[in-house]
Every structure is written in structure tokens, then in C-alpha cells.
Chain A
Amino acid sequence: MAALLITINTVAQVERGSLLIKNGTVLTITKGTLENTDVLLKDGKISQIGKNITAPAGINVIDATGMHVMPGIIDAHSHLALDAVNESTSPVTAMVWEGDDLNPLDVSMYRAVAGGVTISHAMHGSANAIGGQCQTIKHRYGTVDPKVLMMEGAPRTIKFALGENPTRVHGNNGQGMVPNTRMGVEFVIRQAFSEAKEYMGAWSKYNSAKVKKGFRGAPPKYDLRMETLAAILRGEIIIHCHSYRADEIYMMLNVCKDFGIKRLVFQHVNEGFKVAPELAAFGAMASVFSDWWAYKFEVYYSTAYNATILTRNGVITSINSDDAELTRHLYHEAAKTQKYGGLNDEEALSLITINPARQLGIENRVGSLEVGKDADLAIFKGHPLSVYAIPVVTVIDGVVKFDREKDVDDMRIYVDPKQTIDVADAAFEEHGAHNHDACMKNAEFLLNVKMSDLNR
């Protein structure tokens, strides 16, 4: 059985570079702010942080005088670079995995890089109580190999969802089955974990019998859904749970306590401020929007102070985008916590760097500027929390992935020869029309090129 499960992963060819960044204001996040400091990146890792570092031969130098150098921004909730988001055919779809439908050609990744975002959490959607497994990706834009995007060694994660979305999809207004209510969602999750325990029991019974001499018998039926749920129970997968209301958040804490699950991150968590001490006591984390709410009934009771209240209660908190556009200015989203709650610079920047890294289980690799960590960083003109901040260079694994000076208009990797180009649509857009209807579909890329022109 074990042999069946071992996957032979071909080693992806990841490009790693070296670079010296001179004389910047280095926002390390975990070790303070260092003025007039150099950062040496070697073979994809941060090898030295200090003053007057001389560039080893053959290494490019970026003069960051007057600029701010911060860790690459991490977005703990994103759907970039995915061909499919929801396998919505069942309330429990733990067997599917977003790593299987990564699309390295998605130009949104480059746009995220242009906003200093180097890592995102490519998540399954919220149609199901237990959705699919997610994949933490590095925005190594420029490859066609999906395996290159996968952050090597990042822990497995999975999407859960509470409240209106799974009940709407599967309940009486959807597929007419359980869950139709919040109690139904709890039941679906408890039932799935209970079945997984039985499944684990059946397999461990079989495996221990199998090694005995002369054993003859049938194995239990292999079930990929149960395999994944069992891995959650064994602590190998971090749950990222879509949630809004305090009652259902508290419910989920209890479910996890009952099944001995410790690695739990809540997503959105608009009412997290009501149960902040409970979250902190459990050790659950929270990934929130800065100030987005009221887009459906369960999201009315919200506050822009959410991130601050959670932080002040000792909950590891991040601010996410859940959106290909918003991700490009997560630094502004983080800055809002200074207006609403008065977080200091380090706390505010932690919301988009080391804290999401902790939530994804990659904090020993990224999220702060420390020697030995991955060479992922963003260089800003102006302080990244300033409304005047401009991202100028983004580096991933020591390789420059965005340079404002050398930003090409058309950054698509593949071009569909059958795609129609209608410049008339683009002109229409320039005159202030909205971009959300299907008739604009084939011109979207064009519009965004225009928008980047305007920003310059």
C-alpha cells in the first residue's frame, strides 16, 4: 500500500539568482528597521545583511538609496493561476487539489509581482463545507511548468467553508441535500471526520494483519477523499476555513477540539473580533480583509478594526486579497490598520509578510528579511505603508521578476492565435465604462495594459 502512495515527483527546475541591494532602508519585520543597509542575495537565499558589503564578482547591484526594502508580500487567500476554483459537485471534496490545475500562464501573477507580492495561497473556492486542497505558490512568472510555481516544502493546506456559500450550493436552493443550514455544515464536517477515523482504523487493522505470515484477506477500499481527511486528523494538513459569523467560528473551534485538530486558520473571519480571545486560546489564526463587507447577509456585522482587535488579542492575523486586483496593493490594505486601530509599522507590515507566512507554515523560509531565508523581497519608492508608495523592483529567489524601469506592455507568456482584438472596446473602456461584463472578455488584457500606462 505504501508503495502505491509514494509519488515520484520530478524535480522542477527553479531558477535561483544572486544580487546585491545597496544602501536601502531595510524593513526586516522581525529584526527592526536598518537604515543605509545592504542585502546580499546568493543562489536564491539571503546570505548577508549589513553595511558596506562588496559585491562578489559577476553579481548585479541594485542601488536602493532612498528606497525601502521589505520581504516579499504574501497573500494568504488568492485564486491566481488556477484553471478551476470550485469542484462544487459534493459538500466534501477533500480529494481534489489545486496543485493539479495550476496555470503558470496566468498573467495575473505578473501583476501581483508588480505589487510586491511574491507568494500566494492558491485556494479552492468556498462552495463546499470541505473543499479541495490548496497550493502555496511562488510567483515565479515566466515558466510554463506548474511544478516550478509550487513552493517546495510548503505544508499541505485545505479549504473548508461555513455559512451561506455551502448551504446555498448544496441546500434546498441548490442541490437539495445536506447542508441546508449552519447545523448541517457542522454535521457534514463531523460526519466526514468520523468516517475518516473509521477508514484509518480499517487500514491500520489491514496493514498490521498483512505483515503476519500467511495472511490472506482483502484490503479496505482505497478512497482519496478519506486519505486526505485522515491526513488532516494526523496533523499533516492545515485547515483554512472560510467563515464570517462568530457562532460558526466558535462551532468550528469545538469541532477541531473534538477531533484533536490543532492547525487551523480562519479566512475572512469578519466577526473574528467577537471571538478573538477564544481564537487566541485555541491557537487558531485569522486572515481578514481590511475593510470589505456587506456583500451578503452574513457579512454585515463587520469592522475595519477587526485586524487590530485580533492582533491585540494575540491572534496571528494577516490581511488577504481574495482577488487578482486587490492583491496588487496589499500594502495599502495593510496601511488601513494604521488609520483603524493604530498598529505600528512593523505590526501593519507583519499582516502581509511574516503572519501569512505563519498561517501557511512557511515562516522559517519567508516573511522576513533574515540571513538564510529565501531571497524574496520588494523594493519600494516611499514607505510601503505610505499612500505614495510605488513598488519598483520585486525579487523572487534572488531573481528580478519585476522591474518598473523594464516593464513590458504585453507580459503574456502564451498568446492565443484565435483571440480577437477589439481596440474599439478598449477605447470604450477609456471613456469610463465598467469592465465587468462578458462583452469585454477578450479585451481585458488590453485594458490592464492601458491602466498600467496611466500609473506611470
Chain B
Amino acid sequence: MNLLKRGMLALALSWPAILFAQDDKALAPVSRTYAIANVNIVQAPGRKIDMGTVVLKDGLILFVGKNVSIPADAIIIKADSMYVYAGFIDGLSRVGVTKPKEESQGGSQQQRPKDPGNPKPEEAGITPQNDVRSSLNPADKSVAEFRNIGFTTAHVVPYGGMMPGNGAIVLLGGRTADEMVLVNKSSFYSELTPAQRVYPGTVMGVMAKYRELYRQAALSRSYENMYAANRSGIQRPATDRVLESLYPVVDKRQPVLFKAEKVTDAQRVLTLQSDLGFTLWLAELKEGWDIVNKVKASNAKVFLSLDLPEDKKDDTPARKKEEVEKNDKPKTAADVEKEALEKRKADFTAKYIGQAAVYQKAGVKFGFSTINVKASNIPSNLRRMITAGLSEDAALASLTTVPAELLGLSDRLGTVDNGKMANLVISDKPYFEEKAKVRYVFVEGNLYKLEIKEAKKGDPNAKVDLAGEWTMTTETPKGKNDETLTIKKDGNNFTGTVSGGRLLKPVDLEEVILDGNALTLRYTVNYDSQNLTVTVDAIVEGDTFKGTASIADLGIFPVEGKKNPK
């Protein structure tokens, strides 16, 4: 064994953390030193180094700059012309948090609560003693989903009612819940969510209960202090897990992280804050454009929702047909009215998208929150906000420097600087470009490499005989699934069916497009009483095809086809 190998072995043994399973690969990296070479470094919004190098060691950023000497043990990431950013930080999230079974609130559905005005705190959604760490699962698929679009840190909270429990700031990596945690009990998470069938059963009930608990906690806190100073001769304070959990809030040592999406709810939360005086972090705000000054005056830390309403483009064939028929007829009063109503809806969709730009203009610093959004929609939603007037620098700041500052982590997170934690995202193009893809993510120096499947280009001049019967095999996590594809040629078009496999009866192909030898199929299957659209993209070569099947938003899976002999 030569010296170098021995050194590596010693290295491996001294850092057990590198034995992390990464992307299901059991092998640990041979070194925890990485050099990302020839990369465009966006250290922070507005601070860039063209074609520099970032060196990471033991989970920290060692060097950033040009003319950096690369350590001998470094694994070199060839990120030529790629872009590296500080890992993104999510201000309110349930990434990796397991949802409890539906029974925690209000007792079981059949049983009528006995005295609904005086439920146990747990039945009323009042569980502030809970800790998100108990329901954190690093193997949850959301962890990888969010990491794959660049998030490395998230402020996660437990599920529950009006007071679900303590939040924690976690890294999107690690083998156990405890390993994920960066800051424990970082917030006292709250919602205006009423309990079911017991008090508080309405939003006004939640408001009243919140006030009452807070005031009770303040009183019992001061009595406890009095008791602690001299315990002789006075009654022992009663213990109470709910009120005790509120003490850090009453003492202003722990902020209240309050979810409020609607303009009405956000103002209710601001009312509670001004009535009670707690430190407020307002998160998942969606309708905040009209109350920006009020929010600013409250000094609350703000996290805007990354969930946006869809741009409604109803271009189903039926709708198109309707349009064509409409154009032939004079407009009725109902048509005019409907157009006006649709326009107002579009105007409001624009307001939701423009919220971030409104906050930027008003000079309110904000991070983002993701508790309602699918990871796959986040990059496009960010682009929509940018198109609506949010600057790219502000968008990046809201993903990195601002949440780091708001969460009190600026010394460790938010920029690509020497000494910070090695939380990085590397994309092949500037992140906010539509075609940008995240290629590598580092979470505390651990590398997650993203496989990019380059779609095979079809040959537009190829001649393919598609008609006939094919066996199509899809590889899903549940195993291989064989289906029979029957395609008929009808003039220049194709029609057909899919049958067999897990399908109970044959399903018509809604779309068969053959461009040269590039084949696209679309059909809908009903599974668990849900309609799932399947899109197959494949390249046909002779009597076989190879490609991918994307099944609704469940994922993209490899697919192969083989023509059955006649």
C-alpha cells in the first residue's frame, strides 16, 4: 500500500460522516475535499467571479477565487462554464416531514366529542410541546426533490392545528433526523387552523384561544420566576406542557412563525402580534400586495409563498371547438360578461405573481416559503415573478442572503465565501434561465450529482413502420410493467389502444405523433380513482423503441418497446 492510499484510508476512517448513502449509492466518496474548477461563481447577488474555483473541505468552503491552488486530495468537479450559487434556503416548509394519520384532531370521525367546549389540548390542535424532529424523515422523497432544484436548507415545521409545535432549521441531507438539524426549536409554529368539532372550531375561536393561552403563559411565567427566586412558603406552580412551551415566546427568545396565506388571515396575525407583542415571522403569504405597508410597519420577518395560481390556458380540443363555433356567432350578453369575468381573474393571477415585485419595490426584505408548492413548479414560478418585475438579484437574495439573515444564519449560510458551510448549487446555465438545469448540489460538503438524461435526438428522415402490435415495458418503482400497444395507420394519422399490464380494460391513445423516428404517445389511465396522464417519448429503431414514460407528476421512468411478430 503506497503512502497516498494509506492517507486516503486514514481520511476515510477519521470522518465517518462521509459514509453517507448518497443518491442510493452505498459507496462513500474517497475524499471530502472538492474543487469546483472553471466555474462562474455567484458569491452573492451582484457579486460575481467569472471562471474561478471553489474549494470545499470537510463541509466548509475553503477558498473562493481565481488562481486557487487545488489541494492534492481534491476531487475535481469539472463545472466548466457552469454557475455556482449558495444553496437555497426555504423559510417555511414540510420537506422531509411525515404527515400523521388523520386522527390527531377532534377524536375519531364516528365518535361525537363528549364536551366539545373543553377538549384536551391535543384534540384542539394545541401541541406546542411537539418537536418537528420526531416526524422528520431524511429518506422522504421531498428531501431529494427540493435538493434537486437547489435547496440545501429548510425551516421545517410539524403538522397540526393552531399550535403544531417547534420548527427546526434543517439541512437537506443526512441519515437521521438529528443529523439534518442545523438549528433546533428555531420557531414556535402557528396557524389560524380551527380544530374539528371541538373548540376552537372557528377562526375567531382560534384568535380567542391564542390570546388566552398567551396571557395565561405570561402570568404563570412571572409566577414561576417569583417561585424560583424563593420557594419557601408559597404554592408550587402547576406544571403545564402547553404554557411552558409558550415561555420562550413570552420571553421573546423564540419567534412565532405564523402561516397566513390570505390578506384577511395575514391581518388577523398582525392583530394578534400587536395585541400580544410576540416576535413574528410571517410566512406563506400569497395575497400580501395591498398590505405591504402594514406588514412593513409590523417589523415582522416575511416569507412569501412560492405557490402561484396557474395561468389558465384552457386549450383542450373541446374548448377550441367551442371557440371556433363562438367566432361564427354574434356575442351574447353572457359571452361579454364571461369575458369581463375572465379578465378580472387574469388580472388577479397577475397580482399573485407580482406580489414579490411589490415587496421589493416597498423595500421589504423577504425570503420564500414552500409549504404549498410542488418542487417541480418552483423554478418556473420564480421566472414568472421575475417576468412580473422582481429583479433577478432580489430573487436570488430571497433564496440565499435574505433568508440567511432573517433566520440568523448569515455567519454560516447564504453566500459563497471562505469559511461558510459548503452548501452550494451548480447549474449548467444561469439559474433563472428557462433551460438551466441543476447539475450538482453540495449539502455541508456532501455531493449530490444529478443525472441529466440527454434526450436522444430523432432522425427526421428515418422511415418507420409503426402500425402493428408492440409490447411496451415500463420500469416503475413497483417493478416492470408489460402492456400491449396496438397502433393502426389511418391516412397520415395513427390511432390505437393500450391494454394488458395493470390496465383492467384497453385505453385509447389520445395522441400518437411520429416525427421521423421520434415517437410521442399520450393516454390516460385511471389508478386509485385518479386520472393519470402518461406521456411516452421514444426513438424507434426498426422493431424496437427506447425512451421515457412520464406518468402525471409521479415521475419519469424508462420505457422500451418491441414489435410483436405478426
Between A and B, 14 residue pairs with Cβ closer than 8 Å are A87-B204, A89-B198, A96-B204, A102-B264, A175-B116, A219-B219, A219-B223, A224-B212, A410-B341, A417-B309, A417-B352, A421-B345, A423-B335, A426-B334
Q: How large is the interface on A (under 10, 10 to 19, 20 to 34, 35 or more residues)?
A: 35 or more
How would residues 72 to 115 of chain A score, 1 for a CB under 8 Å from any chain B CB and 0 otherwise? Answer: 00000000000110111111110111101111110000000000
Contact partner of B218 (CB less than 8 A), chosen from A4, A132, A427, is A4
Q: Does B235 lie within 8 Å of A218, measured CB to CB? A: yes
Bound complex: CA A92 to CA B334 (Å): 48
Contact partner of B112 (CB less than 8 A), chosen from A86, A101, A175, is A175
A102 vs chain B, min Cβ distance (A): 8
How would residues 332 to 370 of chain B score, 1 for a CB under 8 Å from any chain A CB and 0 otherwise? Answer: 001101101110111111001000000000000000000
Name the interface residues of B67-126: CB closer than 8 Å to any CB of A: 112, 115-118
Contact partner of B211 (CB less than 8 A), chosen from A175, A224, A423, is A224
Q: Which of A5-13, A54-62, A308-316 contacts B (4 or more CB under 8 A)?
A: A5-13
A410 vs chain B, min Cβ distance (A): 6
How would residues 136 to 177 of chain A score, 1 for a CB under 8 Å from any chain B CB and 0 otherwise? Answer: 000000001111000000000000000000000000000111
Bound complex: CA A354 to CA B230 (Å): 60
Determine whether A405 belongs to the interface, using a CB cutoff of 8 Å to chain B.
no
B223 vs chain A, min Cβ distance (A): 5
Contact partner of B274 (CB less than 8 A), chosen from A9, A84, A105, A223, is A9
Bound complex: CA A427 to CA B332 (Å): 11
How would residues 271 to 304 of chain B score, 1 for a CB under 8 Å from any chain A CB and 0 otherwise? Answer: 1001101000000000100110010010000000
Q: Does B215 lie within 8 Å of A222, measured CB to CB? A: yes
Q: Does B204 lie within 8 Å of A423, measured CB to CB? A: no
Contact partner of B116 (CB less than 8 A), chosen from A84, A89, A96, A104, is A89
Q: Does B312 lie within 8 Å of A417, measured CB to CB? A: yes
User: Which residues from chain A contact B199 at a C-beta distance below 8 Å?
Assistant: 87, 89-90, 93
Indicate whether A224 sits within 8 Å of B337 (C-beta atoms), given known contacts A4-B219, A417-B312. Answer: no
Bound complex: CA A410 to CA B207 (Å): 32
Residue among A9, A224, A449 facing the most chain B CB atoms (10 A cut-off) = A224
Please name the residue on chain B nearest to A449 by beta carbon: B337
User: Which residues from chain A contact B340 at a C-beta distance below 8 Å?
Assistant: 409-410
Please name the residue on chain B nearest to A223 by beta carbon: B212
Determine whether A440 belongs to the interface, using a CB cutoff of 8 Å to chain B.
no
Which residues of A approach B to under 8 Å, CB–CB? 1, 4-5, 7-10, 83-84, 86-93, 95-98, 100-105, 132, 144-147, 175-177, 216-219, 221-224, 409-410, 412, 414-419, 421, 423, 426-427, 446, 449
Contact partner of B201 (CB less than 8 A), chosen from A7, A88, A216, A418, is A88
Residue among A101, A102, A175, A177 facing the most chain B CB atoms (10 A cut-off) = A101
Q: Does B309 lie within 8 Å of A90, measured CB to CB? A: no
Q: How large is the interface on B (under 10, 10 to 19, 20 to 34, 35 or more residues)?
A: 35 or more
Which residues of B approach A to under 8 Å, CB–CB? 112, 115-118, 197-205, 207-209, 211-212, 215-216, 218-219, 223, 226, 230, 233-235, 237, 263-264, 267-268, 271, 274-275, 277, 287, 290-291, 294, 297, 309-310, 312, 334-335, 337-338, 340-342, 344-349, 352
Please name the residue on chain B nearest to A421 by beta carbon: B341
Q: Does B345 lie within 8 Å of A417, measured CB to CB? A: yes
Q: Does B208 lie within 8 Å of A414, measured CB to CB? A: no
Q: Does B348 lie within 8 Å of A421, measured CB to CB? A: no
Bound complex: CA A449 to CA B201 (Å): 33
Q: Does B117 lie within 8 Å of A414, measured CB to CB? A: no
Indicate whether A414 sits within 8 Å of B287 (C-beta atoms), given known contacts A89-B201, A96-B204. Answer: yes
With A4-B215, A426-B337 given, can you name 11 additional A-B contacts, CB distance below 8 Å? A8-B277, A88-B201, A89-B117, A89-B201, A90-B116, A90-B118, A97-B204, A101-B203, A101-B204, A216-B234, A410-B341
